[in-house]
Amino acid sequence: MTHLIHRNLRHTPPVAVSAFGMYMRDSAGKTYLDASGGAAVSSLGHSHPDVLAAMQAQMKSASYAHSGFFTTDVAEELAHRLATDAPGDLNHVYLVSGGSEAIEAALKLARQYFVEGGEPQRRVFIARRQSYHGNTLGALALGGNEARRRQFELLLMDVARVAPCYEYRDRPAGQDLQDYTAGLLAELEERIIEAGPQNVIGFCAEPVVGATLGAVPATPGYFKGVRALCDRYGILFIADEVMCGMGRTGTLYAIEQDGVVPDLVALGKGLAAGYQPVGAVLARDHVVERVRNGSGVFQHGHTYNAHPVAAAAALAVQKVIRRDCLLGAVTVRGATFRRMLRDAFGAHRNVGDIRGRGLFVGLELVQDRDTKRPFDPDLKLHAAVKEQAMACGLMVYPMGGTIDGRRGDHILLAPPFIATEADLAEVVTRLSDAVARALVAVR
């Protein structure tokens, strides 16, 4: 017998046979309301006619062009649009096939920047505990997801770590928000000094943490402080916007809301909204100019770089977001959604925190909201929520267990930007049901 390898080798998931708008349907005829866009991917919902048409047109004209031989109009136009809409002088775009690839490319471009600048000794990246930057070895090394790292530790490069900006759990009662933020920045500075600033390549962080914490934005001033430290010590700031970028938080780039310009930005997921596998790295002028004026070659590359059909899908997605004013819709609907969630769960004993920006929202589940005591990770409450949600015909993206030595159960919600108020109300109704059932199942 031959088998497709699924993530869980003992379990075959339902077979998806069709998807339209907010809904997916399986081969048994059951429909699922997609409240997580898969894993914060499907920002336009499913089967959007404009995106399908753009892909089809591109397939008919040139379905593949190796980037070592050709460029294409769609790839150039996509790069132009991403750079034009990006903050500051993030004027350069490198197109890959997904988020992990984007992170790998960002790490390598950052390293090459220093090698070509005559500083080949620089090798240290700094990242935050409870972060996720992808599953390839470089990206896995950067992230702090213990479960995903455990078996591969010996293969991973050393990365210096600092605390995440995780106010709900880490700010001691009574501590001023500014003092909490200053403490985090002091730790980052300490880590830079410990490694020797002359050895550090860069600091990488998600502007709004997704897959390990569930939509946790930074505290006010945190990223301004990060930018200032990176400038002071001459290291690069890499923003991982694979999950939180491309409109998910109400601005095209999540970091816009923090008022700083990173040196490199990694994109994925929402870039082509799942219609094609696409990722990108944006780089500032000074990064690319140094390599252009040095060796002239970025020592990297994949067979599917700047794939024309993928670029056509991403370009169409970006045009729809602009034409249909979806960034504004995300901001407005996001506020409504959080209000609905607060109405449903605000007094729930087992919901400790409801947080997020735009349509990127997280719920943290706890045994007791007053003490914030998490559930025993062995209960796998997050997995029970996913199972019960699927039973209720709802897709949410829970995560949990032990992450970097810390317990937690989080539910990430990332509905498509086209969600109506009625859709969001239905999400909350089904989620209430799923959470209630999951709590019974694990007790």
Q: Does 134 bind ligand PLP (CB under 6 A)?
A: yes
Residue 211 binds to ligand PLP (criterion: CB under 6 A) = yes
Q: 214 vs 268, which CB is nearer to ligand PLP?
A: 268
Residue 68 to residue 86: CA distance in whole angstroms: 26
Instruction: Give the shortest CB-76-to-ligand PLP separation in angstroms.
Output: 23
Residues in 156-195 at the binding interface with ligand PLP, rule: CB under 6 A: none
Closest to ligand PLP by CB, 21 vs 37, is 37
370 CB-contact burial (10 Å; exposed 0-12 / middle 13-18 / buried 19+): exposed
Per CB under 6 A, does 206 bind ligand PLP?
yes
Nearer CB in complex with ligand PLP: 360/375: 360
Q: How far is the CB of 8 from ligand PLP (least distance, A)?
A: 17
Q: Shortest gap between Cβ of 131 and ligand PLP (angstroms)?
A: 8
CA distances from 72 to 63, 190, 307 (A): 11, 46, 9
Query: Which residues does 393 contact at the CB level (< 8 Å), separation at least 6?
Result: 30, 31, 32, 33, 430
98 counts as binding ligand PLP under rule CB under 6 A = yes
Smallest distance from the beta carbon of 242 to ligand PLP, in angstroms? 3
- What angle is formed at CA 201 by the lines to CA 200 and CA 202, rounded to 5 degrees? 100
- Applying CB under 6 A, does 315 fall inside the site for ligand PLP? no
404 binds ligand PLP (CB under 6 A): no
β-pairing verdict for 124-128 and 16-20: unpaired
The yes or no reply on residue 214 touching ligand PLP (CB under 6 A) is no
Per CB under 6 A, 242 contacts ligand PLP:
yes
**Residue 132 contacts ligand PLP per CB under 6 A:** yes
Our CB check for ligand PLP shows the closer of 211 and 265 to be 211
Look at phi and psi of residue 198 and say left if phi exceeds 0, alpha if psi is from -120 to 50, else beta.
alpha
Instruction: For ligand PLP, give the closer residue by CB, 210 or 334.
Output: 210
Which residue has the CB atom at the shortest distance from ligand PLP?
99
Q: How far apart are CA 220 and CA 212, in angstroms?
A: 21
What is the C-alpha to C-alpha distance for residues 299 and 94, in angstroms, rounded to an integer? 12
Q: CA dihedral defined by 171, 125, 281, 363, rounded to 10 degrees?
A: -20
Q: Could you write out the DSSP letters of every residue in 187-235?
A: HHHHHHHHH-GGGEEEEEE-SEE-TTTSSEEPPTTHHHHHHHHHHHHT-
| Rounded least distance, CB 260 to ligand PLP, Å | 18
Least separation, in Å, of the C-beta of 210 and ligand PLP?
5
* Interface positions with ligand PLP (CB under 6 A): 39, 98-100, 103, 132-134, 206, 210-211, 240, 242-243, 268
